[in-house]
Structure 1
Amino acid sequence: MPTRRDFLAASATLAAGLGCLSLAGQAFAQSGSGMLTRKVPSSGEQLAVIGAGTSGSFEVEPDSTQYPQLKQVLKAFFAGGGQVIDTSPNYGGADAVLGQLLEEGGWRAKTFLATKIAADSRAAAEAQWAGTLRSLRTDKVDLLQIHNLRDWQRQLPYARELKAQGLTRYVGVTHYIDSGLEEMEAILRNEPLDFIQIHYSVNSPAAARTVLPLAQDKGVAVLINRAFDDGRLFARVKDLPLPGWAAEAGIGSWAQLFLKFAISHPAVTTVIPATSRPERQLDQLKAGHGILLTEAQRKQLIDQFA
C-alpha cells in the first residue's frame, strides 16, 4: 500500500514537469494541465485519462435551462485538461447538442471526438454518417466505433473505408455489458483495431479477466464506460467513508475513487463518465491526478463491491 511519503514523492515529480512517470508500476505522461495521459498504442498519441460521455447528460433541448449548464460543464472539462468526448447518433440528439456547444465555445480543436455507427445495413450506415457530420458540425472525427458490436462484420469495413478517406483517424468497436465480452475477445483476436470501448467498474470487473489484458497485448487503446454502473454505485456507498488509504492516493470522493480504479488498470487509456453538472465535472477531473491504485487496492475494492 502506498505511504504518504510515496504520494508526496510522486506529487513532487509531477510538479517538476517531467515528461514520463511510472506510478503504481505504470508509465504515463503529464499534460500541461497536470492531467495524467496515456498513449494510443497504434499512434503514440497521448490522451488525458479522464474524458466525458454524453449519453443521458447531453440529451437536452438547446433552448432548455440545462443547455447553458452543459456549456459550463465543457468549459470546466477543457480547462481541466480533458480531451476525449464520446457520443453516438442514437443518444437522443446528444451529438447535435455537443456539436453546437463545441462550435459556440470554440472547443472543437481541443476535442478528441469519438462517435459511433449504429446501423444494420451499408445504406443506413452511410446515411447515418452523413447525419453525424451535420450534427457534430465537423468534417471528420477522431474515432469512429461500431456501437455495441451491431452488424460489426459489415460496419467495421465501412469504418475502415472512412479512415482511409481521412474522415476518421481511428476505428474501434464498443459494448457495455458482460454478455458482449466473449464476442469482443474474439474480435480482438482476429481484427486489427485502434480502440475498443467496454465497461469496467468495481462491481463489474470481468473485462479484466481476458479483454483488457488482450487489448494491452494487441496494442489496442481502451475507453471505459459505465465506471459508476449508471449511478448505482453511489447508492451503495451513501454514508460510507472512503477507504483509509484514499487520501494518500489523492482521492477525495467516491466518484474519484471509482474513476481512479478504472484508469489504474494498465490497459485503460481513458474513462468517459457522463455528467450534466459543472461541480461534478470538476470533481471527476481530479481523478486524473496523483498516484494510481495498486493491484492490492483494486482487489480490495472488487471484494468490497462483489
Structure 2
Amino acid sequence: MKNKKLETPKIVIGTWAWGDTGELGNGYFGSKLEKNDLQKVASKAIKAGFTMWDTAAVYGMGHSEQVLGEVLKQYDRNDYQLSTKFTPQIAEDVENPVETMLEGSLKRLNTDYIDLYWIHNPKDVEKWTPYLIPLLKEGKIKHVGVSNHNLQEIKQVNEILGEAGYKIDAIQNHYSLLYRSSEKAGLIEYCQENNIDFYSYMVLEQGALTGKYDSSHPFPEGSTRAEIYNPMMQNLESLNNSLKIIAEKHQASAADIATAWAIQKGTTPIIGITKSKYIDDEIKVTNIRLSNEEMNMLEKFGDLAQVNTRGEWEKDMNIN
C-alpha cells in the first residue's frame, strides 16, 4: 500500500504569488507576473534540482494551479513533483468534497495524480481525513501532508490514516526567525523523531527579512504586505542588520541567510519565486553553513523584535 518515499529537495518552490491578480489593492502581493518569466523560473529551477512545486486550490481561487500547470506542460511528469492542498473553507456540499476539490486541481495542473496532497488547515480532522484514504488507494494522491495542524491534531490524523495502512509524510507550517511557534511546541522535534518532513512557509515573512525593506524603505502602499509589515519595520532593524552582517561574511544576501537558518533547523523552506534570477540565490543557500554563534545571534534578535506575524488563518501551535 505504501508509496515510495517522497523525494524532498532542500528547497521547495512556492507559487502562492502566482495566483495574485497583479492589481495593487486586489491581491496579497500586488505583483504583475508574465508567463515568459515564470517559464524561465521553471526551467532554471528544474535544472538546479528544485523539482517540487507548492500551490493550493485556494491560491487565487485556482489561478495559481492553472498558471503552474501551463508552465510545467513542457516537462515530463516524472521530472517534477506537485504539492497542492484541500482547503476545508471552500469545500462543496457533495458526497466527497475532498475528491471534488482534488479533481479541480488535477485538471488545472494537467496531471492525473498529486505527489503530496495537504489538508490545508484543521477545520475538522475527524471529518476530512477519512476522505483521503480512497484517493490514496486509487493513486490519485501519493502522499499526505497537513498544514497548520498542532501536535494533537497531527497525531489524530495519523491514527485515522494508520488504520488504513497510511501515514502523514509531511507537515507545513509558518516558521521563520520571527515566528517559531512550531519549534516551541515540540512539533519540529516530533517530525524528526517520526520521519516526517517539516515544510516551512513564510520563512522570509513575505519579503520583510530579505534586507530590501526597512522603516526608511517600506513596502509600497496598497498591498496587504504593506498593511501588515510596515508598522513593524522599526522593530525588525536589529534582526535585519544582523542578517546583512552575516550575509556579507558568507558573500550572500540577507534572504539567503534567513533561508539557510531554516534549513539548518531541520526544515524544508518553501520559497516563493517569480523571477529566474532568484534561483541562483537558492542554489547558493543550499551550500551555506552557519555557525552556532550565527544561529544563536539570529534567534536572539528575532525574539527581541517582539512582533507577531501569525496570519489570521493560523493557530498558535502551543494552544490546543
Structure 1 and Structure 2 fold alike (TM over 0.5): yes
Letter in 2 for 1:283: D
Letter in 2 for 1:203: L
**Residues in 2 aligned to 1:194 and 1:158: alpha-carbon distance in whole angstroms:** 17
**1:136-147 to 2 correspondence within 5 Å?**
136-147=109-120
Letter in 2 for 1:112: Q
Q: Check if 1:101 corresponds to 2:71.
A: yes
CA contact (8 A) 1:77 1:285 kept: no
Q: Unaligned 5+ residue runs, structure 1?
A: 1-41
**1:66-105 to 2 correspondence within 5 Å?**
66-92=34-60, 93-103=63-73, 105=74
**2:177 paired residue number:** 202
Letter in 1 for 2:169: D
Deviation per residue, 1:229-251 (Å, 9 max, x gap): 12222334698364655466x45
SS of the counterpart of 1:273?
strand
Q: Which moved more, 1:110-119 or 1:122-131?
A: 122-131
Match of 1:271 among 269, 272, 276: 269
How much does 1:213 deviate? 0.3
CA contact (8 A) 1:60 1:97 kept: no
Match of 1:110 among 79, 83, 108: 79
CA contact (8 A) 2:168 2:196 kept: yes
Identity, % of aligned positions: 23
The alignment covers a number of residue pairs equal to 254
**Residues in 2 aligned to 1:166 and 1:265: alpha-carbon distance in whole angstroms:** 32
Q: Structure 1 residues 193 and 275 mapped into 2: Cα distance closer, same or farther (>3 Å)?
A: same
Length-normalised TM-score, structure 1: 0.74
How much does 1:125 deviate? 2.1
CA contact (8 A) 2:96 2:131 kept: no
Match of 1:172 among 128, 137, 145: 145
**2:312 paired residue number:** none
Q: Structure 1 residues 280 and 79 mapped into 2: Cα distance closer, same or farther (>3 Å)?
A: same
How much does 1:219 deviate? 1.7
SS of the counterpart of 2:107?
helix
Higher RCO (Cα < 8 Å, 6 or more apart) = 1
How much does 1:98 deviate? 0.4
**2:128 paired residue number:** 155
SS of the counterpart of 2:112?
coil
Match of 2:194 among 218, 228, 231: 218
**1:32 paired residue number:** none
Q: Check if 1:48 corresponds to 2:9.
A: yes
SS of the counterpart of 1:223?
strand
**Residues in 2 aligned to 1:146 and 1:167: alpha-carbon distance in whole angstroms:** 15
**Residues in 2 aligned to 1:72 and 1:165: alpha-carbon distance in whole angstroms:** 34
Q: Unaligned 5+ residue runs, structure 2?
A: 23-31, 161-166, 214-235, 304-320
Deviation per residue, 1:242-301 (Å, 9 max, x gap): 4655466x45011111111111113x2x2111121222232233212243x344432211
Length-normalised TM-score, structure 2: 0.71
Letter in 2 for 1:303: K
CA contact (8 A) 1:227 1:258 kept: yes
**Residues in 1 aligned to 2:114 and 2:151: alpha-carbon distance in whole angstroms:** 28
**Residues in 2 aligned to 1:265 and 1:43: alpha-carbon distance in whole angstroms:** 25
Q: Structure 1 residues 245 and 150 mapped into 2: Cα distance closer, same or farther (>3 Å)?
A: same
Match of 1:282 among 265, 280, 283: 280
